[in-house]
């Protein structure tokens, strides 16, 4: 993968810095990750052979607290991608006022090629390699693409073995039985729903009048789809990596979720057994779903899905980024010129890291919360930050993305400035 993702991500920082009252020292510091680690992970495979996998962990900035960010297993994982995601996490945590900096990690592989035993050995081997680089007060990993609570449980257990003490707070997104928080597995999707619904209310839009298309029907995409459906929005198209389905009259999202879980392919949802009789549908590709004539488009898959090559084809009025970095900086300009209102990832998908913070707090205190309390705290905090970003956008007449970065950068810049800048030392 070309080393351009971090450069592209940094362009958002430069634009926001024109509006945020921070020093040149702070802006310069945020152009570079604090620490990057690349490791080799030898794994004994089930057939007795040895494979070595490449892994990464990046701590981008810890000005506001220990770094926080997920671990992904994916064939496209690279140092550039992980640095970019760590950059976004830095601003995401600041945008929603969490006492964390940003980090990210990953291993380059297709996890579907490994058995469960091989995945466990890989997960534990990764922690063996990065254990000095992480910790409850240093860097706290979490699940990301193709990792889950079981993987996080293995990793927390391995770290605890290495340190010789039980350390629940080193990893979030764990199984509830191993110190995980209720609501963590659905937090990204639910948080995104809270943001979408609150922004539509501010715009005077009623759910029953709005159509939605969602690219990416994994954990986050399927959860936000379910909540939008229950709230009265008309979800007319969803897709996953193997294709999608479309019905202009709306899809039955509970049925889609059920059959997706059963058959693992979106294209099978309405062509297996009795569900074929639920509704008519058309198949659709991941590329086609981005150009549907809908009110709300939700990219919830991978980064760089909307670029200069296809941004002109977008016909949605509103985009809510549930994936990390699905729209490039150059595409932002095109969409803005077309009048598309884009709500950025560092706000929209921040529900996951918010509830990860709740989990970390519960681990540190030993007091665990009921699901209703978790969701109420998530709703209150993410809507509060969304409202503030809305106000910044209106007051400074900038896009919602720029407003989110201004909001985050102001918080990070204040913390950096309080450590001393050139103005302090030359006074």
pLDDT digits (tens, 9 = 90+) for 52-88: 999 999 999 999 999 999 999 999 999 988 998 898 8
- Summarize the chain as % helix, strand, coil (round to 5): 50, 20, 35
Tell me what pLDDT residue 218 has: 86
Active site residues: 104
Tell me what pLDDT residue 177 has: 95
Assess whether pLDDT exceeds 60 at residue 1. Answer: no
Instruction: Specify the residue for token string 């969803």.
Output: 238
Proportion of the chain above pLDDT 70, given as a percent: 91
Nearest to 131 by CA among 155, 151, 150: 155
The third-level CATH classification (topology) of the domain covering 182-365+380-427 is: Rossmann fold (3.40.50)
The third-level CATH classification (topology) of the domain covering 33-173 is: Rossmann fold (3.40.50)
Assess whether pLDDT exceeds 90 at residue 14. Answer: no
Comparing 33-173 with 182-365+380-427, is the CATH topology the same? Answer: yes
Tell me what pLDDT residue 5 has: 63
Q: Report pLDDT digits (tens) over 110-125.
A: 999 999 999 999 999 9
Between these two residues, 261 and 91, which has the higher pLDDT value? 91
391 backbone dihedrals φ, ψ, rounded to 5°: -65, -40
Spell out the domain ranges in the chain.
33-173, 182-365+380-427
Are 387 and 198 a contacting pair, CB within 8 Å? yes
DSSP β-bridge partners for residue 74: 108
228 backbone dihedrals φ, ψ, rounded to 5°: -65, -45
Q: Report pLDDT digits (tens) over 241-280.
A: 778 899 999 999 998 888 777 665 555 544 444 333 344 5
- The enclosing H or E element of 202 equals helix 187-202
């Amino acid at each position: 993968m070309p080393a351009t993702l971090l450069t592209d991500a940094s362009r958002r920082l430069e634009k926001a810095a024109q509006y945020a009252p921070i020093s040149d020292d702070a802006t310069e510091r945020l152009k570079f990750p604090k620490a990057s680690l690349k490791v080799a992970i030898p794994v004994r495979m089930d057939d007795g052979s040895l494979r070595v996998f490449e892994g990464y962990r990046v701590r981008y900035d810890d000005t506001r607290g220990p770094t926080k960010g997920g671990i992904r297993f994916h064939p496209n994982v690279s140092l550039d991608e992980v640095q970019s995601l760590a950059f976004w996490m830095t601003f995401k945590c600041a945008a929603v006022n969490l006492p964390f900096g940003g980090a990210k990690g990953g291993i380059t592989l297709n996890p579907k090629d490994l058995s469960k035993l091989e995945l466990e050995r890989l997960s534990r081997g990764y922690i063996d390699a990065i254990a000095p680089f992480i910790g409850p007060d240093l860097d706290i990993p979490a699940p990301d693409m193709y990792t889950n609570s079981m993987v996080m449980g293995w990793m927390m257990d391995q770290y605890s073995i290495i340190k010789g003490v039980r350390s629940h707070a080193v990893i979030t997104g764990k199984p509830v039985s191993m110190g995980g928080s209720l609501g963590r597995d659905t937090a990204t999707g639910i948080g995104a729903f809270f943001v979408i619904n609150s922004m539509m209310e501010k715009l005077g839009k009623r759910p029953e009048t709005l159509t939605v298309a969602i690219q990416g029907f994994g954990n986050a995409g399927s959860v936000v789809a379910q909540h939008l459906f229950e709230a009265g929005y008309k979800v007319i198209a969803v897709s996953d990596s193997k294709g999608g389905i479309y019905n202009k009259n709306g899809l039955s999202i509970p049925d889609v979720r059920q059959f997706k879980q059963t058959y693992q392919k979106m294209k099978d949802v309405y062509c297996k057994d009795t569900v074929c009789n639920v509704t008519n549908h058309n198949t659709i590709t991941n590329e086609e779903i981005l150009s549907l004539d809908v009110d709300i488009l939700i990219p919830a898959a991978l980064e760089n899905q909307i670029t200069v090559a296809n941004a002109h084809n977008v016909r949605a009025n509103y985009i809510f980024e549930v994936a990390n970095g699905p729209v490039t900086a150059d595409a932002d300009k095109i969409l803005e010129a077309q009048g598309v209102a884009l709500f950025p990832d560092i706000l929209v998908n921040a529900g996951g890291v918010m509830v990860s913070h709740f989990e970390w707090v519960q681990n540190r205190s030993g007091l665990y919360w009921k699901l209703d309390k978790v969701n109420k705290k998530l709703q209150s905090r993410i809507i509060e930050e969304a409202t503030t970003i809305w106000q910044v956008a209106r007051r400074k007449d900038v896009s919602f993305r720029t407003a989110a970065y201004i909001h985050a950068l102001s918080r990070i810049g204040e913390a950096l400035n309080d450590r001393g800048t050139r103005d302090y030392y030359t006074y």
